[in-house]
């Protein structure tokens, strides 16, 4: 199944990504699709399958709306490991799931899909969504292993050169228009927050020229305006047509990202960062940083700036091997 999976991935990579992307700009969507498939080769795919261990005969994957490439890596690992996959696509936009399924089927790989809420009989479930939906899914499929991936968020930690950090951060913020659990909700820094803000504003403008922002949810408008108002009163702001940078005191940290908005919080040191994040430990995901050796309880992945939205294969996801443990007899893993 490895060779067929790799062929399917390369065909998927060649597709026009804009119509599959749940509202991203075309150039950004194409880069996101390429980036999601780039880590796969014969060695990495085989290593990912080995790391997962024994897999059940069939897996249902409940796909979220937001980061359109989410099902690609999970489906690839599952079918390469010998499982059949049924994808529950997001009702709001199933285009990527539909295209992925067709391409994988054409390569003889057992992938099906629907938008219906109820899964067909499966031996295990991988589910993405908010915490409440995860509880409901675990109850619905209590007789099979359920890998639950609920709400998580990520952040950046900067201590070095503002110009270098800004160029990399602009990529992290542009990818997927700052959607998903690996997007930086905030940038904490020990240096000059104003200098970082100025540099990031210029980098965000450049990113907007290269990868224009796509459509955004109008419901986010009030929160966007609230944060800009806070920045103007309590810190500094830089605003473009489709992006914004705020410098705010850390007391105003929010674990919610907004599309192409960067919020910088100057703080004293790593201990201050640990104190700020302590209440959020169960919901932490990735930290992008230009500093080596910093550990934060709850952070499961540390990577260089610019790579937050480009996770490697194989890897642990939220602290456990991707698809690992799905062969257990029953219950949540």
Tens of pLDDT, residues 17-41: 999 999 999 999 999 999 999 999 9
Domains: count for the chain: 2
User: 83: cis peptide before it, omega within 30°?
Assistant: no
pTM: 0.94
Same domain, 165 and 267: yes
319 found inside a domain: no
Range of the domain at 76: 2-151
d(CA 236, CA 196): 11
Residue of 113, 95, 98, 125 whose CA lies nearest to 29: 95
Same domain, 171 and 131: no
pLDDT for 326 equals 87
312 found inside a domain: no
315 found inside a domain: no
Same domain, 17 and 159: no
**What average pLDDT does the segment 152-156 reach?**
97
From the number of C-beta atoms within 10 Å of its C-beta (0-12, 13-18, 19+), residue 318 rates as middle
d(CA 177, CA 215): 9
User: pLDDT tens for residues 170-202?
Assistant: 999 999 999 999 999 999 999 999 999 999 999
Same domain, 86 and 164: no
Same domain, 184 and 285: yes
CA 269 from chain centre, in angstroms, equals 27
- pLDDT cut 70: percent of the chain above it: 98
Same domain, 158 and 44: no
CATH number assigned to the domain comprising residue 269: 3.40.309.10
pLDDT for 329 equals 54
CATH number assigned to the domain comprising residue 85: 3.40.605.10
Q: How far is CA 106 from CA 7, 109, 111, in A?
A: 10, 7, 10
pLDDT for 131 equals 85
**119 phi, psi to nearest 5 deg:** -80, 155
User: Looking at the predicted structure, is the pLDDT value of residue 330 above 70?
Assistant: no
Asked whether the beta carbons of 318 and 152 are under 8 A apart, the reply is: yes
**What average pLDDT does the segment 68-95 reach?**
97
């Amino acid at each position: 199944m490895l060779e067929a999976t790799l062929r399917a991935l390369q065909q998927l990579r060649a597709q026009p990504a804009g119509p599959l992307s749940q509202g991203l700009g075309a150039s950004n969507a194409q880069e996101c699709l390429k980036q999601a498939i780039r880590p796969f080769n014969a060695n990495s795919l085989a290593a990912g399958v080995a790391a997962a261990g024994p897999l059940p005969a069939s897996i249902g994957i409940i796909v979220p709306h937001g980061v359109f490439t989410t099902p690609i890596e999970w489906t690839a690992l599952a079918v390469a490991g010998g499982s059949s996959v049924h994808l529950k696509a997001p009702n709001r936009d199933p285009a990527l799931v539909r295209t992925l399924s067709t391409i994988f089927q054409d390569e003889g790989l057992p992938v099906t899909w629907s938008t219906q809420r109820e899964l067909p009989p499966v031996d295990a479930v991988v589910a993405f969504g908010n915490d409440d939906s995860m509880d409901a899914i675990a109850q619905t499929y209590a007789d099979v292993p359920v890998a639950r991936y609920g709400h998580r968020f990520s952040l950046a930690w900067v201590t070095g050169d503002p110009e270098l950090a800004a160029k990399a951060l602009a990529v992290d913020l542009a990818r997927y228009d700052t959607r998903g659990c690996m997007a930086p909700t905030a940038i904490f820094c020990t240096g000059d927050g104003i200098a970082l803000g100025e540099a990031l504003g210029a980098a965000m403008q450049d990113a907007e020229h290269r990868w224009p922002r796509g459509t955004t949810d109008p419901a986010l408008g009030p929160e966007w305006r609230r944060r800009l108002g806070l920045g103007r009163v309590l810190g500094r702001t830089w605003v473009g047509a489709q992006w914004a940078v705020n410098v705010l005191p850390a007391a105003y940290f929010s674990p919610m990202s907004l599309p192409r908005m960067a919020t910088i919080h100057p703080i004293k040191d790593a201990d201050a960062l640990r104190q700020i994040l302590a209440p959020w430990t169960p919901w932490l995901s990735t930290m992008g940083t230009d500093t080596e050796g910093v550990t934060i309880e709850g952070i499961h992945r540390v990577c260089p700036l610019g790579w937050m939205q480009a996770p490697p294969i194989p890897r642990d996801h939220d602290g456990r091997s991707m698809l690992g443990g799905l062969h257990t007899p029953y219950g949540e893993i």
